[in-house]
Chain A
Amino acid sequence: MSGRRSEEALRRREFLQLILGTSAGLLLSPTEAFLKTAGRRETGLKVLVLGMDGLDTILVNRFIEAGLLPHFKKLAASGTFLPLGSSIPPQSPVAWANFITGTNPGGHAIFDFVHRDPRTYLPVFSASESLPPRHNLKLGKYHIPLSGGEIRNLRRGRAFWQILEDYDIPATIFKIPSNYPPVETRQKTFSGMGTPDLKGYYGLFNYYTNEYKTVTEEYGGGGRVHYVYVIGNRVEAKIPGPNNPFVKGNPETFVDFRVFIDPVHQVAKISLQGQEFILREKEWSGWKRIRFEFIPTQTVSGICQFYLKEVRPKFKLYVSPINIDPADPALPLSTPESYSRELAKKFGPFFTKGLPADTAALENDVLDEKEFLYQDELVYQESMAMLEDELKNFRSGLLFFYFSNADQRQHMFFRLIDRDHPAYNEKLASEFGQVIEKTYQQMDRALQLAMEKTDSRTVIIVMSDHGFCPFRKGFNLNTWLLRNGYHVLRPGTKPEEVTLFQTTDWSRSRAYGVGLNALYLNLKGREAGGIVRPEEKQSLLRELARKLEQITDPETGERVILKAYITEEVYSGPYVTEAPDIILGFNRNYRISWNSPLGNFPREIIENNPQKWSGDHMTAPGLIPGVLLANRPSRLEQPALEDVTAGILSLFGIKIPSGMTGRPVF
């Protein structure tokens, strides 16, 4: 762990300043730009992998049987259709890292969306870290970086396309998760899930209105409401941009814009930075490029979309998270660097934020279901156009292409196919109850495109990182630890008012939960205020695992946690010591609650999830396997993600490297 990480932990403002400090630093220091692409050895063999995040085996089966997925059926009949074992825990960054490295988390060091800094107990992002420039020249209020900052991909282990590169086999890796910033390679890669927006968030939308509205601006994302006045049919507002690393205190940058509303018609003209465009009510703008100025010679470019939700009686304007401009990326998006520009030239501006669909806007009722789907449909159409183009140029080696739609829509629409979900709504279900089914059909169309554009010698693999299940109830791990004496707060503290372990008495706390599936012991010699002696560790872990597995929901009688995995027993590799001590494998319908992952102590141990984010994948991995389809027979009966990696290398005749735990599936 870097010596600077403790300073960043969860102090979001600083965290973002670091990210943008780094971006500015990168602007000032040429990096290894314009790397040449990998050797172009004609392999004769072509392997196409369609990575469809969150595709669930049970649903795929059901839809195939219903005749809805003809191309999935055809592919399944030609070779393999099996459940694909996911990672522990089956979270996307962990699972895709398993696939990328062909190992388990002990070999790649991604254990959760969120890790913790053992010196502060505070959460930090698991995927990447940003380091500011080491030296600055201070001129009054200005800070001029004298060296470049750095963004570091925290995933360890070699990516399979780096191994292919060793053998001069060309690969194009499009938007694979857990690869931000893209690792150094001469292959063509574009970063996926984990890529921030221009502010350094996982996605922060802006909402301009003269109506009272609250939205959640949370750790790493969410939204921000800007209350505006409509005076003389005119609105003046600002779009917040990245923090300015050139100015003392790193203030936020802004771009001013004006909205002119017609006195009668439901239509408005928006004017910003010399651009003018008209939107009718309920219309989207398409991509608009905006530039944020740090100092007159240093600017960063972003792209965003406007949606005029309502003109009157209330004014409502949504502005999407500001994506990094692929034509002029302020942060690293691709290898070689020119690949991003090449795509921008071909397709114009496109989504670059890791997970493009704005689930936070739907969650906060800023976008409704129809509006959210419109936005995610843009993502799908864009992906299809890019897939078609990549297929056209696919002559040799490997092509990996990623789709996020099934994952994002299942997260938000599971409530409408699960009548027992607390957020189930009959009316919405009648209108949007088919969304998931239709999304799977869209994935089938992507496969159809791939089948049509490749020859019969191409190995086609369709895979997902995990399946899905309802998220009906949340489990408050820290509250449970508190009630059972494993965690102690200082006297006089009201637990439900605590955030980020602010009043934890670490001299008496033996365990704590940070992240979505992780439990850590307060281990002496590892945690700053550790009290659990190494010789006590094993017995405490077993005691906790046993008790956690015994927890039942008093309302249903169901077990909440199906399996508490002691990581030393399930992980292998050089990074096991960095892992959480226990990974919670929840039962179907359960997940960690919304507040527990960041060190809060809500009142109830188990609480209903009334939110739109209603499907999830944090259970024991055996409950929600991903899916593997291929036009080659599987050599394994129960393959897992890392076996696909080994299988790909094997197809190209490459010997499986020693650190890889996967067994060749093909």
Chain B
Amino acid sequence: MLWWLNSALGTLIRIIFMPLASFHPWIAMLVISLLTALLMLFVYKKTSDQAGIKRARERIKAHLLEIRLYQNDFRTQLNSQKELLAANLRYLSYNLKPLLVMIIPIFLLLAQLNLWFSYRIPAKDETFLLKARFIKSVDLMKLNLEVETPAGLQLETPPVRIIDEAEVSWRLRVTGATGKPVIITVDGERYLKSIPATNRSLTRVSPVRVRKNLWQELLHPGEKPLPADSLLTRVELVLPESRLEFAGISFHWLVAYFLLSIIFGFALKGVFRVEI
């Protein structure tokens, strides 16, 4: 069920980003931040008590004015502070409903955007690790393990088996254009791990494929989960982090996304007559 939801959302994002794939990732970031701001404004308008919010904000302003005007009247000051606090709490309570409505879609969206902005695909001649994690009861030394790499990737090392962590790692080198998955064969069972294509500036990268598990699937929505009975619990590509650069400063995508969404939200709230 969750996979279908992830898959649908993934397709939607893919469609949005499709025309932007050859542009700088900042363009995609601007577009998705704008769309998010519009979505948030819409949801906020529809789910919140707009009149109540307006009232609460005006009350807050009034109490602030009261505090300034009656600076010498201690009793009035105390009363204003109490009323200000109450108005603030009321204002926050009006925000609770839209927050609850938006929290799950935004979480799903963030998990999807993470696939587009978090990782950099290693360039030609760069190396990265392929890590496979198994269920704890597996005897790694008896396991029949094979890795098949597609064209454009070369397996450079034998496996490093860490017995007490049930983990096996290999080093891969990028030798050319990639796009086809790596195949890990475990005692005759074949498991695929997707490898992103390397020729576009904006590419969806799924670094982790996990076994069926609600929380893990929420965090790693990039690929269909591994079967629930598989010996493998997780397959991971250890990829370099990607950052967005602006004026010599590099940003984590999440910072850029939230900043831009908030800026767009505030810039457009007047246009859509939304009380925030």
Q: Is the CB of A262 within 8 A of B129?
A: no
Residue B157 at the chain A interface, CB threshold 8 Å: yes
How many of A's residues come within 8 Å of B, CB to CB?
16
B-chain residues with CB within 8 Å of residue A233 when the two chains form the complex: 162-163
Q: Flag whether B212 is at the interface (Cβ < 8 A).
A: no
Decide if B170 is an interface residue (CB 8 Å cutoff): yes
Q: How far is the CB of A98 from chain B (nearest CB, A)?
A: 38
B114 within 8 A of A: no
**A269-B169, A276-B238 known; A263-B129 Cβ under 8 A:** no
Specify which chain B residues have a CB less than 8 angstroms from the CB of A234 in the assembled complex.
162
> For residue A270, which residue of chain B has the nearest CB?
B160
In whole angstroms, how far apart are the Cα atoms of A262 and B163 in the complex? 9
Q: Are A267 and B129 in contact (CB under 8 A)?
A: no
Known pairs A276-B129, A278-B169, A278-B171; A262 contacts B158 (CB<8 A)? yes
A239-266 interface bits toward B, Cβ cutoff 8 Å, 1 = contact, 0 = none: 0000000000000000000001111110
Query: Can you pick out 15 interface pairs between chain A and chain B where the beta carbons lie within 8 Å of each other?
Result: A233-B162, A234-B162, A261-B160, A262-B160, A263-B161, A264-B161, A267-B157, A267-B158, A267-B160, A269-B129, A269-B169, A277-B127, A277-B171, A278-B129, A278-B157
Secondary structure type dominating chain B contacts: strand
A268→B129 contact, CB < 8 A: no
Question: Quick check: is B164 within 8 A (CB to CB) of the other chain?
Answer: yes
- The answer, yes or no, to whether A280 is at the interface (CB within 8 Å) is yes
> In the assembled complex, which residues on chain A have CB atoms less than 8 Å from the CB atom of B159?
262, 265, 267
Q: Does B51 contact A (CB under 8 A)?
A: no
- Verify if A140 is at the interface (C-beta below 8 Å from B): no
Q: Is B164 in contact with A232, judged by CB distance below 8 angstroms?
A: yes
Contact between chains at A276 and B157 (CB < 8 Å): no
Extra contacts besides A277-B171, A278-B156, A278-B169 (4): CB < 8 Å: A232-B163, A261-B160, A262-B158, A276-B238
Most buried by B among A232, A261, A277: A277
Chain B residues within an 8 Å CB radius of A268? 160
Contacts of B156 in A (CB 8 A): 278, 280
Q: Which residue of chain A has the shortest Cβ distance to B162 in the bound complex?
A: A260
Query: What is the minimal beta-carbon distance from B26 to any residue of chain A, in angstroms?
Result: 18
Give Cα A269 to B163, complex, Å.
13
Chain A, residue nearest B172 (CB):
A278
Interface residue? B214 (CB, 8 A): no
Residues facing B in A200-242 (CB within 8 A) are: 232-234
Query: Is B141 within 8 A of A276, CB to CB?
Result: no
- Chain A residues with CB under 8 A of B160: 260-262, 265, 267-269, 278
Which of A234, A262, A263, A265 has its CB near the most chain B CB atoms (within 10 A)?
Answer: A262
Q: Which residue of B lies closest to A232 (CB)?
A: B164
Give the residues in chain A near B157, CB-CB below 8 Å.
Answer: 265, 267, 278, 280
In the assembled complex, the CB of A62 is this many whole angstroms from the nearest CB of chain B, namely: 38
Determine the residue in chain A with the shortest Cβ distance to B168: A262
Give Cα A260–Cα B169 distance, bound, in whole angstroms: 10
Q: Which of B141, B163, B164, B170 interacts with A278 by CB under 8 Å?
A: B170
In contact, B171 and A262 (Cβ under 8 angstroms): no
CB distance from B124 to the nearest CB of A (A): 14
Our count of residue pairs bridging A and B at CB distance below 8 angstroms stands at 46
Known: A265-B158, A267-B158. A277 touches B164 (CB 8 A): no
- CB proximity of B51 to chain A, nearest CB, Å: 45
Which residues of A sit under 8 angstroms from B169, Cβ to Cβ? 269, 276, 278
Residues of B within 8 A of A261 (CB): 160
Query: How far apart are B171's CB and chain A's nearest CB, in angstroms?
Result: 4
Which residues of chain B from 132 to 174 have a CB within 8 Å of any chain A CB?
Answer: 141, 156-164, 169-171
Residues in chain B near residue A269, CB distance under 8 A: 129, 160, 162, 169
How many Å lie between the Cα of A267 and that of B157 in the bound state?
8
Decide if B158 touches A263 in the complex (CB within 8 Å): no
CB distance from A645 to the nearest CB of B (A): 36
User: Which residues in B have their C-beta under 8 angstroms from that of A267?
Assistant: 157-160
Tell me the smallest distance from the CB of B111 to a CB of chain A, in Å. 20
A232 to B161, CA, bound (A): 11
Alpha-carbon gap, A351 to B129, bound state (A): 25
A265 CA / B159 CA spacing, docked (Å): 8
* A256 CB, min distance to chain B CBs, angstroms: 17
Chain A nearest CB from B6 CB (Å) reads: 26
How many Å lie between the Cα of A6 and that of B218 in the bound state?
63
Determine the residue in chain A with the shortest Cβ distance to B130: A278
Residue from A233, A263, A267 having most chain B Cβ neighbours under 10 A: A267
Is the pair B170, A262 in contact by a Cβ cutoff of 8 Å? no
Among residues of A, the one whose C-beta sits closest to the C-beta of B245 is A345
Nearest 8 A-B pairs (CB), nearest first? A265-B158, A278-B171, A269-B160, A262-B160, A260-B162, A278-B157, A267-B157, A269-B169
Nearest CB of chain A from residue B221's CB, rounded to whole Å: 23
Q: Which residue of A lies closest to B129 (CB)?
A: A276
Question: Once the chains are docked, how many angstroms separate the CA of A267 from the CA of B141?
Answer: 15
Most buried by A among B127, B131, B169, B170: B169
Q: Please give, as numbers and ranges, the residues of chain A lying within 8 Å of B238 by CB-CB distance.
A: 276
The interface residues of chain B lying within 8 Å CB-to-CB of A277 are 127, 129, 171
How far apart sit A215 and B175, CA to CA, in the bound complex (Å)? 40
CB distance from A220 to the nearest CB of B (A): 35
CB distance from B164 to the nearest CB of A (A): 7
Query: CB-CB < 8 A to B164: which residues of A?
Result: 232
A263 to B169, CA, bound (A): 13
Task: Give chain A interface residues in 262-299, CB to chain B under 8 Å.
Answer: 262-265, 267-269, 276-278, 280
Complex: A262 Cα to B169 Cα, angstroms: 10
- Of the candidates A233, A234, A278, the one having the most CB atoms from chain B within 10 angstroms of its own CB is A278
* A263 to B163 alpha-carbon distance, docked (Å): 9
> How far is it, in angstroms, between the C-alpha of A268 and the C-alpha of B170 when the chains are bound?
10
For the complex, what is the distance from the CA of A269 to the CA of B127, rounded to whole Å? 13
A348 to chain B, nearest CB (A): 11
A652–B184 alpha-carbon span in the complex (Å) = 66
What A residues does B161 contact at CB under 8 A? 262-264
Give the residue among A260, A269, A277 with the most B Cβ atoms within 10 A.
A269
CA distance A106 to B176 in the complex (A): 59
